Chain A
Amino acid sequence: MSQLLLDVNGLTMRFGGLVAVNKVNLAVKNRQIVSIIGPNGAGKTTVFNCLSGFYIPSEGSVMFNGGEIAGMKDFQISRQGLVRTFQHVRLFSKMTVIENMLVAQHRHLNTSLLAGLFKTGSYKRLEQEAMDRAAYWLKQVDLLEFANREAGNLAYGQQRRLEIARCMVTQPELLLLDEPAAGLNPNETKELDELIIRLRDEHEISVLLIEHDMGLVMGISDHIYVIAQGTPLADGTADEIKNNDDVIKAYLGEE
């Protein structure tokens, strides 16, 4: 068995007496699209917050690339190559699209004050590389022509795409997408669908996805996890999930 990219065991998150996430296990292999589904309030976003370091999990281990990341600070985790988007788009609205892309590459740039003030060779080279990478990814998400537009002035669908491009430009290995299709029209959802598949097939990264759009989830996922009330309910391929009695009950209620 090949090594898992992300291996989550017994992840538990408590807020006071409330158990929001209860012993969740997840496994993501290289070049895989994995989805987490579940009714509203099931604790999916809390799982993301634990994985990306916004919350420190109460219990459990999160192995990424063979190393423990539970308990690390958020910015350290993203530097390991695990980057996320948000349920509500979080762009730097007053900055231009290209500036958004450059900020995301902060850690790949020469941030030494003196190098920047004197425009040393290495500083200029790294800035240029960052610009090129930004241009490449803007092209991938069809935003190149808006490069100098303020991010806050983009249409909603474009903002969603920019958020994904901004993650990709950090050169991650695992991308966490929190309801990327929320608020998109069917056409945009289809484009998103294609984009995610391209990320896996052409750019060889893995995607962990939270999504309510079942068409999207069933169509692209290699593996699906179902969570209800913070507790794992089932996991398997799209077909297995579709025919799982527990899942049907959780979604449709008891007969």
Chain B
Amino acid sequence: MTETFLYLIQQLINGLTIGSTYALIAIGYTMVYGIIGMINFAHGEIYMIGSYITFIVIAGLLGMGMVSLPIILIIALIVAVIIASTYGWTVERVAYRPLRGTNRLIPLISAIGMSIFLQNYVVLAQGSRDVALPPQISGGWTFGDPSVFEVSFSYMQALIWVVTFVAMTALTLFISRSRMGRACRACSEDLGMTNLLGIDTNRTIALTFIIGAALAAVAGLLLGLYYGVVNPFVGFIAGLKAFTAAVLGGIGSIPGAVLGGLILGVTEALTSAYFPSEYKDVVSFGLLVLILLFRPSGLLGKPEVEKV
């Protein structure tokens, strides 16, 4: 096998890894958009908070002398999911619910305010500098010819793939099988009608925020471990990327968010492999603009019929 080909394989692996975490965050955007038609600007910050919580729990448990990595990770995951979900719920309760039914611009501005608030809240609480966590999971598999180019697939990347896959499967089952999931789907079809049918729409919307936040926290844990650093500003750019992924796949569609995340991740990996890496953001925003122009309903979204 040639070097170019192996190099490409390596970029695909890296891209799919990042892409699957984008997908996790993108689901939060897509579900909220599907149900109340608004962009939850503060969603990226929830992901960032999830990363911080993960770091705090891992550092705390290691400091207490705990050695079993799987147990540490599981505890970190549970705590991060609980706390991030609480943040997601609170944001909805405080900044969005009172504004439901007003002009579109108003909740959007409120969401931007919330995003700025949370970012600076974390700056005040944890400082604005990078916090670094030494790698917890090292090693991996390598293949290819060492004299030409060795492709590596680390255990960490494998973990990201597995966890993402499990989370997606759980979500799909929840949405399609459970009572609450059915209520979610009903709400995204017609909120007013669902309310008339006696389903507590407020509760369903809150649940959507909680699920979105929980998945963002999972992404926060995975990406935090993968990169090993976090700062209060990572949520902003990750949020933008995930939103791009959601739009790419078709906002409102969960499989679309996954597909969009993967495509975006691979695109970015390939861009930074062949061009200066600063331009990878330019490429992903460019992609967003192109998609919105030529296929505003995304790859898997339903085209919208304008109601007059």
Contacts and interface: CB of A to CB of B under 8 A. Distances in A.
Interface of B: prevailing SS:
loop
A45 B308 contact: yes
B278 interface: no
Contacts of B305: 15
A247 B306 CA distance: 31
Contacts of B308: 45, 49, 54, 86
Contacts of B306: 54
Interface string A1-41: 00000000000000100000000000000000000000000
Interface string B273-308: 000000000000000000000000000000001101
Contacts of A49: 308
Interface string A75-106: 00000000000100000000000000000000
Nearest to A49: B308
Contacts of A54: 306, 308
Contacts of A86: 308
A49 B306 CA distance: 10
Nearest to A178: B308
A180 B305 CA distance: 24
Nearest to A87: B308
B305 to A, nearest CB: 6
A55 to B, nearest CB: 8
Interface string B161-190: 000000000000000000000000000000
Interface string A150-166: 00000000000000000
Nearest to A15: B305
A117 B308 CA distance: 36
Nearest to B103: A94
A168 B305 CA distance: 29
B306 to A, nearest CB: 7
A49 B307 CA distance: 10
A45 B305 CA distance: 14
Contacts of A45: 308
A78 to B, nearest CB: 13
A148 B32 CA distance: 40
A54 B305 CA distance: 10
A45 B306 CA distance: 13
Interface in A46-90: 49, 54, 86
A86 B305 CA distance: 17
A70 to B, nearest CB: 17
Nearest to B306: A54
Contacts of A15: 305
Nearest to A52: B308
A30 B305 CA distance: 33
Interface string B19-60: 000000000000000000000000000000000000000000
A144 B306 CA distance: 34
A157 to B, nearest CB: 22
B300 to A, nearest CB: 16
B103 to A, nearest CB: 10
A86 B308 CA distance: 8
Nearest to B305: A15
B101 to A, nearest CB: 15
A49 B308 CA distance: 8
Interface string A94-131: 00000000000000000000000000000000000000
Nearest to A88: B308
B307 to A, nearest CB: 10
B17 to A, nearest CB: 38
6 contacts: A15-B305, A45-B308, A49-B308, A54-B306, A54-B308, A86-B308
Interface of A: 15, 45, 49, 54, 86
Interface of B: 305-306, 308
Q: Please give me the 6 A-B residue pairs with the lowest Cβ-Cβ distance, nearest first.
A: A54-B308, A49-B308, A15-B305, A86-B308, A54-B306, A45-B308
